[in-house]
Amino acid sequence: MSTDRFTFMFKSVHLRFLIDRLARALITVGGLATIVSILGIFFFLFREVTPLFTQPSAKLTQRLSVPALLLDEGPAQVAVDEHREIAQVFTSGAIQFFDLASGQPIPLDMPAQVKSRQITAMASGGGNAPRLAAGTADGEVLLLKVGIMTEFTDQGERKKRPHIRAGQPIPLTKSPIVRLAYRVNDQGSLLAILSKDGRLLVVRIAADDAGGSHPIITELPQPRGTVTALALDALLENLYVGTAEGQVVHVALSETESPEMRAAYAVAAPSTAVTMLGFLSGDRSLVVMSEDGAVSTWGLVRRADAPSGWTLTQMHALRSHNGPVTAFAPSQRVKGFVTGDIQGNLFLHHATSSQTLLRLAVSEFPIRAVAFAPKGDGLIALDGAGQLSLYQVQNAHPEVTLQTLFGKVWYEGYDQPAHVWQSSSGSDDVEPKLGLLPLAFGTLKGTMYALFLAVPIAILAAMCTSQFMHQDLRAKIKPVIEVMAALPTVVLGFLAGLWLAPLLERMLPAVAGMALVLPLLVVLASFAWHLCPLSVKRHLSQGQEALLLIPILGLGIAGCLWANASIEGWWFDGNVKAWLSNRLGIEYDQRNALIVGIVMGFAIVPVIYSIAEEALSNVPKTQIAGSLALGATRWQTVLHLVLLSASPGIFSAVMIGFGRAIGETMIVLMATGNTPILDWNWANGFRTLSANIAVEIPEAPHGGSLYRVLFLAALLLFIVTFVINSLAELVRQRLRDKYSHG
Amino acid sequence: MVERSKVMKNFWRGGELFVWMSASGVAFSLLMVAGMLALIMINGLGQFWPGALQETTLKTQETVIGQVVGEEVIPNSVTPDSPAGQRRFRYRVGNRDVFGAEYRWINAADIVSNARPEDLTVVERREWGPAFGRISVGVEGAAAGSASGSSWTTVKNLVERANQLRRRIEHLEREEIGSINYRIEKARLARHALTLSGQLSPGDTEKAGILLDQIAVLERDYLAKTEALERLHKEAGQEVLFLTLSTGRSVRLSLDQVLAVSRPNGMNWFEKLWAYAHNLWLFVSSEPREANTEGGIFPAIFGTVLMVFLMTLAVMPFGVMAAVYLREYATQGSLVRLVRIAVNNLAGVPSIVFGVFGLAFFVYALGGTIDQWLFPEALPNPTFGTGGILWASLTLALLTVPVVIVATEEGLSAVPRDFREGSLGLGATKFETLRHVILPCALPGILTGLILAMARAAGEVAPLMLTGVVKLAPALPLDEYLPFLHLDRKFMHLGFHIYDVGFQSPNVEAAKPMVYMTTLILILVVVSLNWAAVRLRNRLRRRFTASAL
């Protein structure tokens, strides 16, 4: 023996106790830290998810009075830049910029065209472009570019410079323009105007006609009723005309044909005027605001019975104001918008989630104009008393509520409310669809198909090795089955996707044949064995039936594969896919639930087997011996005694298999088409929560709604598996205690 | 009749049927395991065997040269007249650049004759996969004088020379130019770091000047080296082989594109075996080419091993410490029991959840903070604020720590009480008892846990996808530049390699054999680790059951 092993005996006692205490402290701290940190995973995930459900809030950051020049009864527009440093106010009197840091107006040369005219209507060109149109008292339209340019100096400092450019006025009518709608896109720009004498004109300006010198002017027929509001979409194809009778008239415009009045829709209570019309970002949802303060969004929805095939349908009704709505602004990035009323209140709405997020009492005077900061984190409002109010808004995840996550939501472009997961798409204008239900459904579907295959095989195998098999053989076979649990799932996924899926597509008849032939073969084999003379039976020790069955089943499988074409001919009219499609209406996808069921089943067989085996073999041998001695057969003993006593353990085995299958990622990622659909059919694919996380999180912006919703999915998986495993563990421990005492 | 019904009745009553039914569960499980392993082995190991090249003449007078890789009954060809159906063969015809597809089906009915002439040659190329045909003209260009026609030895010598040249080019590219690039980047970052603080002291200005000079020198060096490289490339591109394809068309093959030539039809059994071993070695030792569908998997093997090693370093002390605390130091009560169940159940939490946690906590929270403190000069390019081998290993360490805790606890609890009491009774302190008596006894248990953890880690892919694995890493995380081990680098992994090549590569069919082989290697690693753990655990159990008696 080396001496150093025993040197501790010769150290001073003090030193030894010191070391002992230090070690105790270290182990306690280290051990606790490890345990706390792994349990801390849950709290960290939770922390990442909570911002989804925090209430939005707004804080008044600044308030300043505008000069008297801007105080009038006419129309108004406001805007603020993305850093909330410069505000812009445009009224019939003037255009004025304010430096928000000092609260002072920024001196600026006004173009002569604007200065000399009285503005009676104004509209923005939509999108992020700083384009405005203004109608004058003389029946002219001025096209303006008003905005704030951000420049960087050589030193890297940020400088902002407001600018105004105006085109030549376009004369249209004799009487003042009272309503105006304006949209610009790549093909050109379109204006819709209403003059005081009731004429409704559409003005088209081609993209290459920069000065607006060759406008194409079309006069629209008079709609029934008094026109009160206009809205144009960015396609330059649809004009919506609101009337004092509570209707919206849809006018289809096109470059080549004359305007067509499609239909009139009642969008407000009878004889309640539509006070304002507007679009959400993307110009697909029409926001209707009426005299009684009602706010709702509408969209064109496909309807077979409508004359044009489409009809304007209410998608979301939002919280009503107490008086007429006087101001409206859409968010530039999400499907949110803000409305202001005559009593000085601002409501912040979100269309997707159908909710009104915030109510701000800005002043006691009517709101004249309101606008979002470009990033959606600020609001600016101008009220009738000439006060400019600036708010900072905390509203990171307006589209996520429990309802949008788990309920049906009416998305833009859909005919009805639906459960949809479609997080990303090419354009920013498309509404993110974060419905988790199709994914949760897919998870459950994959799990169920896997359990359907795995549970019978695993439990039968567990019964066989624990009850009917000789100890020596069992010691060899058990590890082989259990080692399956260690197989990397990426391997199984690869085999499922690239080997099994194409094979099964060709060999579907053979598999259908196997489902019939293999059980039959087992029955036949056992019957044949029953007929065997005792002299033969003697050579087989207990449990070797399994070994005997391997070649039999193997031959059966090979036979079915060999007869594939013949089975297809006999049962499926020679073409199984056509047969499925014609007879059962099933369209067969190459990567489908059946594949996942087989392969994921394969992955969880050893999990279930291992625990069920333990439960079955823990049933006291004395009880079994008693049963056998009383004359019960092996099978009767197992069925009535062993299975019954071990049933909690088997239940917990199935639970743990369930937990494994729920979180499995690679197999479903590789063996399904990852299409998030709600369909129990075995022949099509699905998308699970776990595969969805793997697919989408690399592209999800850090801290965004999608990112957090994916965290919510992870948290759900965590909780579900944790609870299931804990329950299973509890059942197992109880069972173990019972038999260790009994 | 009566006799028969009695037999049936006995059969039913005896329950033998159900025993057999349950046996079928075992049989089915074993069949699945065996079938899967056989499938992977046949598909994976078969690909390195130099397969014979077949020259087939078709009824249309067309000639096809290729390796026959499969055959089947043509779907829907079974008719009452021909119950066996028509057969067809699958040829790997190569020459993807010319033919467009690597594989081709040929109906048995169309074949006029088959032959296996010895002069058919397989040319392994850097791009576009293998080419099959006859090396007909021989050599042109610089070596034209020395070559006497199309002799096979000449061709082989030429290819050998071209390979030497390529190794020199690679060395120049990777080692020398790579090292210059690395030093330039370092100097650039160091200079940037100096300017970051805003005010430059005179000393700093001087340093910055020196760095600038260094960069200039390095850049001159770089230019010289790239010129040399250019010359080598030119030299390599001069030599040309001509290959006559099955269509009769002659294709120019620049020698720097040719990796190897062989004539499998002329090989004897021993030569084939040698070629097989050589190919296998190349597969494990070389780097991938052609979007990972060809070449080897060395970086993936290396990445997997290094990642598992780092994970083990992280998981061992903490896992053992937690287990020792729970079993030896904590007051055993319902709280500890609850914690134990919770830890136990964490092993069943889906791995993707750990991946998500790793991404948010390690990569974004921890990595982002480290970048701000330690690597501000590289921002906005992240150093640790993006996936890397360190974060991947730590994530997997979290994933596997419950395994280690459970196994270690099992090991500790198996140490007989007498041992502890004896040691304490002899006057040893608690820690001394732990260190000299309990831990040595529990060592097999701890090792079992570690091996199981390693096996689990080696096979996990989902968490890695979020925390730092890539399809193609530009450099290994371990190299000759300080600090040698680059924990921030992204890495390749066998499991992810399977996923990537099998599902995201442009030419899945041609890559399939490679994926099977990669799969086989991964399974070998994981299953052998598991077997080792199981053996160790069984030995541990036996030892203490024996000592308890």
**Which residues on chain B are in Cβ contact (under 8 Å) with A600?**
none
Report how far apart the first and last C-alpha atoms of chain B are (Å, whole number): 60
**Which residues on chain A are in Cβ contact (under 8 Å) with B456?**
486
Decide if the complex's ipTM is over 0.90: no
Q: Tell me the C-alpha distance between A504 and A122, whole Å.
A: 65
Cis status, amide bond into B483, omega within 30 of 0: yes
Please give the pLDDT value at position A564.
82
B17/A526 Cβ within 8 A: yes
B522/A639 Cβ within 8 A: no
**Average pLDDT value for chain B:** 83
> What is the pLDDT confidence band of residue A82, given thresholds at 50, 70 and 90?
confident
Residue A431's nearest CA partner among A552, A236, A649, A280 is A280
Q: CA of B172 to nearest chain A CA: how many angstroms apart?
A: 35
Mutation pick from A50, A464, A638 vs chain B, by most beta carbons of B within 10 Å, is A464
Distances (CA, A) of B504 to A495, A662, A687, B293, B353: 15, 25, 18, 10, 23
Q: Check whether A540 has a pLDDT greater than 70.
A: yes
Question: DSSP letters of A9-31?
Answer: GGS-HHHHHHHHHHHHHHHHHHH
Q: CA of B483 to nearest chain A CA: how many angstroms apart?
A: 28
Q: Tell me the C-alpha distance between A324 and B104, whole Å.
A: 73
- Spatial neighbors of A410 by CB under 8 A, at least 6 apart, are A315, A316, A416, A417, A418
pLDDT digits (tens, 9 = 90+) for A636-695: 888 888 888 888 889 999 999 999 999 899 999 988 888 888 888 888 888 999 999 998
> What is the pLDDT confidence band of residue B119, given thresholds at 50, 70 and 90?
confident
Q: Tell me the C-alpha distance between A296 and A298, whole Å.
A: 7
Mean pLDDT in residue range B363-380: 82
> What is the pLDDT confidence band of residue A380, given thresholds at 50, 70 and 90?
very high
pLDDT digits (tens, 9 = 90+) for A332-361: 888 889 999 988 899 999 988 888 888 999
Helix (H, G, I), strand (E, B) or coil at A676: coil
A557/B26 Cβ within 8 A: no
Name the pairing type of β-strands A170-171 and A158-166: unpaired
Please give the pLDDT value at position B476.
80
**Which residues on chain A are in Cβ contact (under 8 Å) with B465?**
694, 698
Task: Say how many CB pairs under 8 Å bridge A and B.
Answer: 338
Q: Dmax over Cα atoms in chain A, in whole Å?
A: 119
**Which residues on chain B are in Cβ contact (under 8 Å) with A718?**
349-350, 353
Q: Check whether B198 has a pLDDT greater than 70.
A: no
Q: Which of A227-241, A268-282, B184-198 has the lowest mean pLDDT?
A: B184-198
Please give the pLDDT value at position A4.
53
Q: Tell me the C-alpha distance between B460 and A667, whole Å.
A: 12
- Chain A's closest residue to B509, CA to CA, is A498
**Which residues on chain A are in Cβ contact (under 8 Å) with B27?**
546-547, 549-550, 552-553
Instruction: State both tokens at A462.
Output: 């567990």
Contact A72, A116 (CB under 8 A): no
Please give the pLDDT value at position B149.
53
**Which residues on chain A are in Cβ contact (under 8 Å) with B348?**
656, 659-660, 721-722, 725
Please give the pLDDT value at position A164.
85
Q: Check whether A716 has a pLDDT greater than 90.
A: yes
B512/A493 Cβ within 8 A: no
**Which residues on chain B are in Cβ contact (under 8 Å) with A5?**
436
**Which residues on chain A are in Cβ contact (under 8 Å) with B536?**
none
Q: CA of B242 to nearest chain A CA: how many angstroms apart?
A: 36
**Which residues on chain B are in Cβ contact (under 8 Å) with A456?**
25
Q: CA of A468 to nearest chain B CA: how many angstroms apart?
A: 7
* A108 φ, ψ (degrees, to nearest 5): -155, 140
Summarize chain B as % helix, strand, coil (round to 5): 65, 15, 25
- Give the residue carrying structure tokens 């965590």: A718
Residue B355's nearest CA partner among B210, B279, B461 is B461
A711/B356 Cβ within 8 A: yes
Contact A653, A608 (CB under 8 A): yes
Mutation pick from B352, B464, B503, B526 vs chain A, by most beta carbons of A within 10 Å, is B352
Mutation pick from B5, B29, B88, B103 vs chain A, by most beta carbons of A within 10 Å, is B29
Q: Check whether A451 has a pLDDT greater than 90.
A: yes
- Chain A's closest residue to B13, CA to CA, is A633
B25/A690 Cβ within 8 A: no
Q: CA of B499 to nearest chain A CA: how many angstroms apart?
A: 7
Question: DSSP letters of A453-497?
Answer: HHHHHHHHHHHIIIIIS-HHHHHHHHHHHHHGGGS-HHHHHHIII
- The amino acid sitting at A163 is H
Contact A423, A706 (CB under 8 A): yes
Strand partners, A193: A180, A201
pLDDT: is A322 or B13 the higher one?
A: A322
Please give the pLDDT value at position A742.
47
B21/A460 Cβ within 8 A: yes
Q: CA of A558 to nearest chain B CA: how many angstroms apart?
A: 12
A663/B20 Cβ within 8 A: no
In chain B, % of residues over pLDDT 90: 15
Contact A204, A255 (CB under 8 A): yes
Taking the CA of residue B239 as centre, how many other CA atoms within 13 Å lie in the half-sphere pointing to its CB? 28
Question: DSSP letters of B239-270?
Answer: -EEEEE-TTS-EEEEEGGGEEEEE-GGG--HH
Q: How many Cβ atoms from other residues are within 10 Å of residue B87's Cβ? A: 13
Mean pLDDT in residue range A309-330: 88
- Chain B's closest residue to A10, CA to CA, is B428
Strand partners, A360: A346
**Which residues on chain B are in Cβ contact (under 8 Å) with A156?**
none
Pick B462's closest partner by Cβ from A481, A531, A694. A694
pLDDT digits (tens, 9 = 90+) for A52-80: 888 888 999 888 888 777 777 778 888 88
**Which residues on chain A are in Cβ contact (under 8 Å) with B339?**
35, 39
DSSP code, position B352: H
pLDDT: is A534 or B304 the higher one?
A: B304
Q: CA of B42 to nearest chain A CA: how many angstroms apart?
A: 13
Mutation pick from B4, B22, B470 vs chain A, by most beta carbons of A within 10 Å, is B22
Please give the pLDDT value at position A429.
65
- Give the residue carrying structure tokens 């912040």: A348
A506/B534 Cβ within 8 A: no
- Spatial neighbors of A156 by CB under 8 A, at least 6 apart, are none
> What is the pLDDT confidence band of residue B204, given thresholds at 50, 70 and 90?
confident
Contact A424, A699 (CB under 8 A): yes
Q: CA of A583 to nearest chain B CA: how many angstroms apart?
A: 19
Pick B495's closest partner by Cβ from A490, A527, A602. A490
Mean pLDDT in residue range B199-218: 80
Q: Check whether B422 has a pLDDT greater than 80.
A: yes
- Give the residue carrying structure tokens 């009337």: A243
Contact B29, A481 (CB under 8 A): yes
Q: Check whether A3 has a pLDDT greater than 60.
A: no
**Which residues on chain B are in Cβ contact (under 8 Å) with A497?**
502-503
**Is the pTM above the cut of 0.95?**
no
B30/A477 Cβ within 8 A: yes
Q: CA of B155 to nearest chain A CA: how many angstroms apart?
A: 38
Q: CA of B399 to nearest chain A CA: how many angstroms apart?
A: 9
Question: DSSP letters of A591-623?
Answer: S-HHHHHHHHHHHHHHHHHHHHHHHHHTS-HHH
Q: Tell me the C-alpha distance between A663 and A27, whole Å.
A: 33
In chain A, % of residues over pLDDT 90: 18
Q: CA of B317 to nearest chain A CA: how many angstroms apart?
A: 9
Q: Tell me the C-alpha distance between B18 and B31, whole Å.
A: 20
pLDDT: is A192 or B202 the higher one?
A: A192
Please give the pLDDT value at position B219.
87
- Chain A's closest residue to B458, CA to CA, is A488
> What is the pLDDT confidence band of residue B142, given thresholds at 50, 70 and 90?
very low
**Which residues on chain B are in Cβ contact (under 8 Å) with A491?**
40, 459, 495, 498, 519, 522-523
Question: DSSP letters of B444-459?
Answer: HHHHHHHHHHHHHHHH
Q: Check whether B549 has a pLDDT greater than 60.
A: no
Q: Tell me the C-alpha distance between B178 and B172, whole Å.
A: 8
B348/A721 Cβ within 8 A: yes
A690/B27 Cβ within 8 A: no
Q: Check whether A260 has a pLDDT greater than 70.
A: yes
B502/A481 Cβ within 8 A: no
Mutation pick from B3, B356, B412, B522 vs chain A, by most beta carbons of A within 10 Å, is B356
Contact B403, B530 (CB under 8 A): no
B17/A486 Cβ within 8 A: no
- Chain A's closest residue to B80, CA to CA, is A569
Q: How many Cβ atoms from other residues are within 10 Å of residue A327's Cβ? A: 25
**Which residues on chain A are in Cβ contact (under 8 Å) with B317?**
30
* A666 φ, ψ (degrees, to nearest 5): -65, -40
